Structure formats: structure tokens, C-alpha cells
Amino acid sequence: MFSKLGHGSKEFLIIRACALLILFYTIYLGGFVIITEELDFNLWSTFFESTLNKMFTSIFFLAFAVHTWLGTWAVSSDYLTPRIFGNLGRILYVSFRGIVAAIIALILTWAIIIIW
């Protein structure tokens, strides 16, 4: 079924799946914060020592990266074009995508180092 979809439809579904993962993680983490009576560093640290929490947090950051990459691609390919900006459109598009890639790589690297 997935192979019959067009390029844009696949990205649409991937973005939505990543958004659901981000939502589930937010609810999970928010639930922990709300349920915990007194949240201190030791409890927070112990919570994140669990391999399950490390994996869930890593999945969150990967979903965040994919969601951000595809979402900014959709926006930039629609608005940073030669049709709108003339010859500057291609330069803006490539520059924007490079900056987004660098930010995503930095956040992912930082998150994985801290989590694991």
C-alpha cells in the first residue's frame, strides 16, 4: 500500500507519524511531571536512567529531526523559490536547508550524547 503513494503523500504520512510520536512522548513526560509530587534532580535523574526512557527519548528526538527536516522542506520548497525571489530563490533555499540540517545535526548529537 505504501509503495503506491506518491512522493508528497509519503512525506505527509511520515510527518504525521512523527507528530504522533512527539505527542505520545509529550503526554508520557507530562504525565510523569504531573503525577510526581515533588520533582527533584535525583528523581529526574533516576527516571532517565531507565533504558526504556532512554530509548523513548531517543525515538522522540529522531521523530523531531525527521518531522523538522520534512516540514521545513515542504515550506522552503513552496516559498523559497525563483518564482517568488527570482535568482536569489535558489540561494535562499540551499542556505536555509543547510542551516536547518546543521541545527538538526547539532540537536541530535547533543541529545544522544546527553541521553546515553
Per-residue pLDDT tens over the stretch 25-62: 999 999 999 999 999 999 999 999 999 999 999 999 99
Q: Report whether 20 contacts 66 (CB < 8 A).
A: no
- Cα–Cα distance measured from residue 77 to residue 81, given in angstroms and rounded to the nearest whole number: 7
> What are 86's three cell numbers?
527570482
pLDDT in tens, 1-33: 566 777 778 889 999 999 999 999 999 999 999
Q: What pLDDT sits at residue 107?
A: 97
Candidates 71, 74, 58; CA nearest to 17 is: 71
Predicted TM-score (pTM) of the model is: 0.85
Q: What pLDDT sits at residue 7?
A: 73
- Average the pLDDT over 94-103 and give the result: 97
